[in-house]
Amino acid sequence: MITTLIFDVDGTLADTERDGHRVAFNQAFEQNGLDWFWSEETYGKLLAVTGGKERMQFYVDTHDKTEKNCADLKQMIIDLHAQKTKNYVALLENGTIPLRAGVERLLNEAKDKGLRLAIATTTTPENVTALLSNTLGKDSIDWFEVIGAGDIVPAKKPAPDIYSYVMDKMGVKAEECIAFEDSINGYKSSSAADLKTVITYNGYTQEDDFSGAELILDTYGDDATPSLDMLNLYSKPYFELADLLSELNTQ
C-alpha cells in the first residue's frame, strides 16, 4: 500500500538549475572577483557532481589551477556558497522560477488522498523553503512532514542516504513510498534506497538512462502544458496519481 510520496526539488518541483542555481553561482563568482563563468553547457557537465560546494571543488580540481593553490580553499568555497545561497533565494523571491507544470495539481491530489509528503534533496534547506513559499505560499512548507536537505547526510545523491534518512524519520518502508526525480543522480539515489520512482526529465537530463523507473515523462502536465509522453503512452494529457496508485496498490 502506497502511503508516502517523496519529492526531489531541483529539476523535479521546478527547473531551478539553468536559470536559478547557475545564475546564482555566476553572481557569487563575480561578487568575489573571480573570473569563473559557468555557461549553460559547462553547467550541464558540472551537474554530474551534486551539491554546490562539491561542484565548486570539482571545478577547481578540473579547471582552475591557480585557485587550487589557494591557502584556504575550503573556506573560500564555504563563503562563495553562502553568497550563492543568498543570490539564489533572491532570485526565488523575485518570482524568477515557477513550479513545473502539474506539480501543484499533483501535490493537491496527494493531500486530498491523505498521502504523506516529504522532500529528499541535495540542495540547501533554505533554498527549499524559499522555493515552496514563493510558489505555493508559506503554509506549503508544512505540507511536507520531513524535509531532508543538504548536508544533513554526509553522502549526497547518488548515495541513497537522503532517502533513507527521510524514510527513517517518517517510520515508513521503501515499499510504501514513491520517489519523484528528474536526474540520473537522483534516480540512482532513490533506486539504491529501493524506491519506485517516477521521472520527469528536463533539458539537462533527457539523455540520462532511467531504465527500470516506474514512469518516465517529459512533464506531469496540465491543461495548458500537456505531457507528450502521457499522450503517447496513455492518450491522456497529464499524469494523475490515482492511475499510478491503483496500479501499484493492486500489485
Q: 163: closest CA among 201, 144, 191?
A: 191
- Alpha-carbon dihedral of residues 56, 187, 110, 172, nearest 10 degrees? -100
- Say how many C-beta atoms besides its own lie within 10 A of residue 69's C-beta: 9
Find out whether 56 and 81 touch, Cβ atoms under 8 Å.
Answer: yes
Q: Work out how close the CB of 89 gets to ligand XBP at its nearest, in angstroms, rounded to a whole number.
A: 10
Cβ 81 to Mg ion, closest distance in Å?
18
| Closest to 238 (Cα-Cα) out of 217, 209, 212, 214 | 217
Cα torsion 126, 132, 137, 140 to 10°: value is: -100
* Distance of alpha carbon 75 from alpha carbon 67, whole angstroms: 12
Binding mask of the shown chain, residues 122 to 141, with x at each position contacting ligand XBP by CB under 6 A: xxx--x--------------
Does 52 participate in binding ligand XBP (rule CB under 6 A)?
yes
Q: Measured from the CB atom, is 8 or 222 closer to ligand XBP?
A: 8
Rg (CA), the chain: 18
**Cα separation values, 20 from 90, 94, 143, 189, 217, Å:** 10, 11, 24, 23, 22
Q: Which residues bind Mg ion (CB under 5 A)?
A: 8, 10-11, 182-183, 186
Nearer to ligand XBP, 102 or 186 (CB): 186
**Count of residues near ligand XBP by CB under 6 A:** 18
Dihedral, CA of residue 246, residue 175, residue 168 and residue 179, to nearest 10: -60
Q: Is residue 160 part of the contact set for ligand XBP (CB under 6 A)? A: no
> Which residues within the stretch 19-38 sit at the binding site for ligand XBP (CB under 6 A)?
21
Given candidates 18, 19, 42, 51, which one binds ligand XBP under the rule CB under 6 A? 51
Q: 185 contacts which partner out of Mg ion, ligand XBP, none, CB within 5 to 8 A by kind?
A: ligand XBP
Beta carbon of residue 195, minimum distance to ligand XBP (angstroms, whole number): 14
Alpha helices in 101-250 (DSSP H): 103-112, 125-135, 161-170, 184-192, 228-234, 241-249
Nearer to ligand XBP, 17 or 218 (CB): 17
Active site annotation includes 61: no
Nearer residue to Mg ion within complex by CB, 134 or 205 = 205
142 is catalytic: no
Distance CA 81, CA 79 (A): 5
Q: Least distance (Å) from ligand XBP to the CB of residue 50?
A: 4
Residue 122 binding target from Mg ion, ligand XBP, none, CB below 5 to 8 Å by type? ligand XBP
Residues 188-227 that bind ligand XBP (CB under 6 A): none
Q: Which residues bind ligand XBP (CB under 6 A)?
A: 8-11, 17, 21, 50-52, 121-124, 127, 157, 183, 185-186
- The catalytic residue positions are 8, 10
